[in-house]
């Protein structure tokens, strides 16, 4: 008896799964955006974690590595490496924390501020490309919904 050739079309189960399980859809979307962000960062020579550290230090001032780790939600062991790399590049310096002599404060340098400015210049185009399927209103809604999920007052 002749057999039917195997169906070589792409399965279409994921759209159904994503509609039924927003947690799975969000995880997949997050992973996709994270890969795109890392690729973009790699093209511009400043890792995502490094960019975030420079941005936070520029915004809020000197911080301990522990504060950076907690606020940016970057594992402590990864944060040590991020700060080491930034320090080697001359973008940050570690100084004794004036409020707690047992710890160090990480401070952005002028070179770090300049490097951040360069990196920030490419972010709008990256976001436009990454979220091209969303119009500006939908992007604002997504931002608000993510903030709500994360418990961030907006």
Asked if residue 91 has pLDDT above 80, the reply is: yes
Is 147 within the bounds of a domain? Answer: no
Is 128 within the bounds of a domain? Answer: no
- What digits encode the pLDDT tens for the residues 35-88? 999 999 888 889 999 999 999 999 999 999 999 999 999 999 999 999 999 999
Show the domain range for 81.
22-121
Residue 26 maps to which CATH number? 1.10.10.10
pLDDT at 134: 95
Is 42 within the bounds of a domain? Answer: yes
Number of domains observed in the structure of the chain = 1
Arithmetic mean of pLDDT, 2-16: 70
Cα separation, 76 vs 129, whole angstroms: 31
How much is the mean pLDDT over the chain? 90
Neighbours of 7 (CB within 10 A): 7
- What digits encode the pLDDT tens for the residues 120-136? 999 999 999 999 999 99
Asked if residue 154 has pLDDT above 90, the reply is: no
Asked if residue 97 has pLDDT above 80, the reply is: no
């Amino acid at each position: 008896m002749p057999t039917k050739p195997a169906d070589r079309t792409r399965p279409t189960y994921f759209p159904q799964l994503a509609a039924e399980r927003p947690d799975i859809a969000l995880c997949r979307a997050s992973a996709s955006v994270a890969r795109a962000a890392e690729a973009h960062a790699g093209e511009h020579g400043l890792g995502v974690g490094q960019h975030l550290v420079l941005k936070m230090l520029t915004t809020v001032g000197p911080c301990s590595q522990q504060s950076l780790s907690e606020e940016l939600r970057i594992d402590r062991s990864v944060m040590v490496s991020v700060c080491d790399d930034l320090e080697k590049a001359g973008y940050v310096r570690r100084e004794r924390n004036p409020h707690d002599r047992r710890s160090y404060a990480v401070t952005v340098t002028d070179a770090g501020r300049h490097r951040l400015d360069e990196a920030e210049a490419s972010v709008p185009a990256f976001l436009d490309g990454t979220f091209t399927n969303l119009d500006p209103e939908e992007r604002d809604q997504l931002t608000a919904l993510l903030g709500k999920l994360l418990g961030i007052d907006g």
